[in-house]
Chains A and B, each alone.
Chain A
Amino acid sequence: MAKIPVQFTLNGSEKAEFIDSGTTLLNALRDKIGDTSPKGGCHQGTCGACSVIIDGELRLSCLTLAETCNGAAITTTSGLAEGGVLHPLQRAFLDTFATQCGFCTPGMIMAAKVLLEHTPNPSRDEVVEALSGNICRCTGYEPIIQAVLAAARANSQNAA
């Protein structure tokens, strides 16, 4: 089958690729573009490990067809650190031991990032709700919730 072109910005830089029609964004990012930060856990929409931000909204890249993202702005966890300095969420995940095997972490961070963009000082319940589509088999969730709350506090201290 003829390949089709897709073009979008990924973490601020232009990307253009030829893909097979029907390729998921997850596969296009990982196998074509080489951004392996979104993980393929279930390919069914249940685990959230493949979460990315498309035009400001949290989406599951395993259920999104890459060709529907033409012209979109896509953010993944690999684009968060700047000049070797970790993003406050990444820092907080390390500091609170919110990462063990790390497989869920990029998806958790994407979900948390969207939350903090809209709700800079979330309650615990709001954090739980925001992460409710993301599964972690290792941490028992509490350290992850604490990491998001810590990142929110760090952000508001920096802003003050």
Chain B
Amino acid sequence: MALALQTFPTVKDANAALKAPGTRYLGGGTLVVRAANEGDVLVFGLVRSTDPALTAITVADRKVRVGASVTMAAIARHPELAILAKAARAVGGPAIRNMATVGGNLFAPAPYGDFAVALLALDAMVGTEDGELPIETFLAKRDGSRSIVTSVGFTLPKADGFRFLKVSRVKPKGVSVLSIAAVLEQAADGTVSSARIALGCMADRPMRAKATEKALEGKKLDQNGIAAALAAATEGIAPVTDPIASAWYRAEVLPVHLGRLLLA
């Protein structure tokens, strides 16, 4: 294996080095080093930056900024990010969580990317040296992305306004059959005033369930209220087939799990 790693103190210099062909950024390495171990010869250069801003978490006035090199374990134990702990703990086992970064999760292909599903529901902004992009746009363009993600930013929802669920066959740690994250706001009478729902494993990358979101608005979170939303759940999905589950199975069980999440 001929993999050469270059380390730079600044993101700027690392970005410049990343322009060389066959070069990728090294986050926690759980995907990119694995690919090299498996014989992926398309990547022969790795670049990383040790800029301390990349590992910083700041929370001020419910506005959160998480550096791209922050690990799942660091999120799971951060007292002010308690509502995200479940999504961070959904990623791999303990050793993987000590290595897997937020930045890397944004690039992880299905069935991975559970934390990115949470970030999509949070409507996070993804930061690079060139500025910020809404996560939905970022995910759509990520294959052509050549700049280092430096941070993600989002507003913390109210504790009861964020829901996350991951379904896996192996407990307590297993790869996703699917994952769902929802940010729900409810009016005083209990009807949904706004809903953002993101799905994992329902395409090659996390996607928004826009038809479901629309069908929920103005509805109560009870059996009758969510019926139209569940009927719309499979609209626009193209689930992945892999050794964990077939596309057919994923589509069949999506409304069941979405229903459980909404009624929880």
Residues of A bordering B, CB below 8 Å: 1, 20-22, 24, 43-45, 48, 51, 57-60, 62-65, 67-68, 111, 114, 128-130, 132-134
Tell me the smallest distance from the CB of A6 to a CB of chain B, in Å: 11
Pair A45/B30 contact, Cβ less than 8 Å: yes
Pair A22/B29 contact, Cβ less than 8 Å: no
- Using known A-B contacts A51-B95, A114-B94, determine if residue A64 contacts B29 with beta carbons closer than 8 Å: yes
Q: In the assembled complex, which residues on chain A have CB atoms less than 8 Å from the CB atom of B33?
A: 24, 62-65
B interface size (C-beta, 8 A): 27
Other-chain residue from A1, A22, A45, A128 in contact with B96 (beta carbon distance below 8 A)? A45
Tell me the smallest distance from the CB of B174 to a CB of chain A, in Å: 9
In the A-B complex, the 4 residue pairs with the smallest Cβ-Cβ separation, listed nearest first, are A133-B93, A22-B3, A132-B173, A43-B37
Pair B94/A24 contact, Cβ less than 8 Å: no
Tell me the smallest distance from the CB of B116 to a CB of chain A, in Å: 18
Pair A60/B2 contact, Cβ less than 8 Å: no
Q: In the assembled complex, which residues on chain B have CB atoms less than 8 Å from the CB atom of A67?
A: 5, 7
Other-chain residue from A22, A58, A59, A128 in contact with B172 (beta carbon distance below 8 A)? A128
Tell me the smallest distance from the CB of B190 to a CB of chain A, in Å: 34
Tell me the smallest distance from the CB of A69 to a CB of chain B, in Å: 12
The chain B residue with its CB closest to the CB of A125 is: B172
The tally of CB-CB contacts under 8 A between chains A and B is: 84
Other-chain residue from B4, B98, B172 in contact with A21 (beta carbon distance below 8 A)? B4
Q: In the assembled complex, which residues on chain A have CB atoms less than 8 Å from the CB atom of B5?
A: 21-22, 65, 67-68
The chain B residue with its CB closest to the CB of A27 is: B1
| Bound form: Cα–Cα A57–B98 in Å | 7
Pair A111/B36 contact, Cβ less than 8 Å: no
The residue among A59, A62, A114 with the most chain B CB atoms within 10 A of its own CB is A59
Other-chain residue from B34, B46, B95 in contact with A59 (beta carbon distance below 8 A)? B95
Other-chain residue from B38, B73, B96 in contact with A60 (beta carbon distance below 8 A)? B96
- Using known A-B contacts A44-B38, A132-B173, determine if residue A1 contacts B4 with beta carbons closer than 8 Å: yes
The residue among B30, B34, B38 with the most chain A CB atoms within 10 A of its own CB is B34
Contact residues of B between 15 and 38, Cβ < 8 Å to A: 26, 28-30, 33-34, 36-38
Q: In the assembled complex, which residues on chain A have CB atoms less than 8 Å from the CB atom of B38?
A: 43-44
Tell me the smallest distance from the CB of B77 to a CB of chain A, in Å: 10
Given contacts A43-B37, A62-B33, A63-B37, 19 further A-B contacts (CB under 8 A): A21-B3, A21-B4, A22-B1, A22-B2, A22-B5, A44-B38, A48-B93, A63-B33, A63-B99, A65-B46, A68-B48, A114-B94, A129-B172, A129-B173, A132-B173, A133-B92, A133-B93, A133-B94, A134-B93
Q: In the assembled complex, which residues on chain B have CB atoms less than 8 Å from the CB atom of A58?
A: 94-95, 98
Instruction: Give 25 CB contacts A-B under 8 Å.
Output: A21-B5, A22-B1, A22-B3, A22-B4, A22-B5, A43-B37, A48-B93, A51-B95, A57-B73, A57-B98, A59-B98, A60-B96, A62-B37, A63-B28, A63-B37, A63-B99, A64-B99, A65-B26, A65-B46, A67-B7, A68-B5, A68-B7, A130-B94, A133-B93, A133-B95
Q: In the assembled complex, which residues on chain B have CB atoms less than 8 Å from the CB atom of A134?
A: 93
| Bound form: Cα–Cα A37–B172 in Å | 26
Contact residues of B between 132 and 183, Cβ < 8 Å to A: 172-173
Tell me the smallest distance from the CB of A154 to a CB of chain B, in Å: 22
Q: In the assembled complex, which residues on chain A have CB atoms less than 8 Å from the CB atom of B1?
A: 22
Tell me the smallest distance from the CB of B45 to a CB of chain A, in Å: 9
Tell me the smallest distance from the CB of A45 to a CB of chain B, in Å: 5
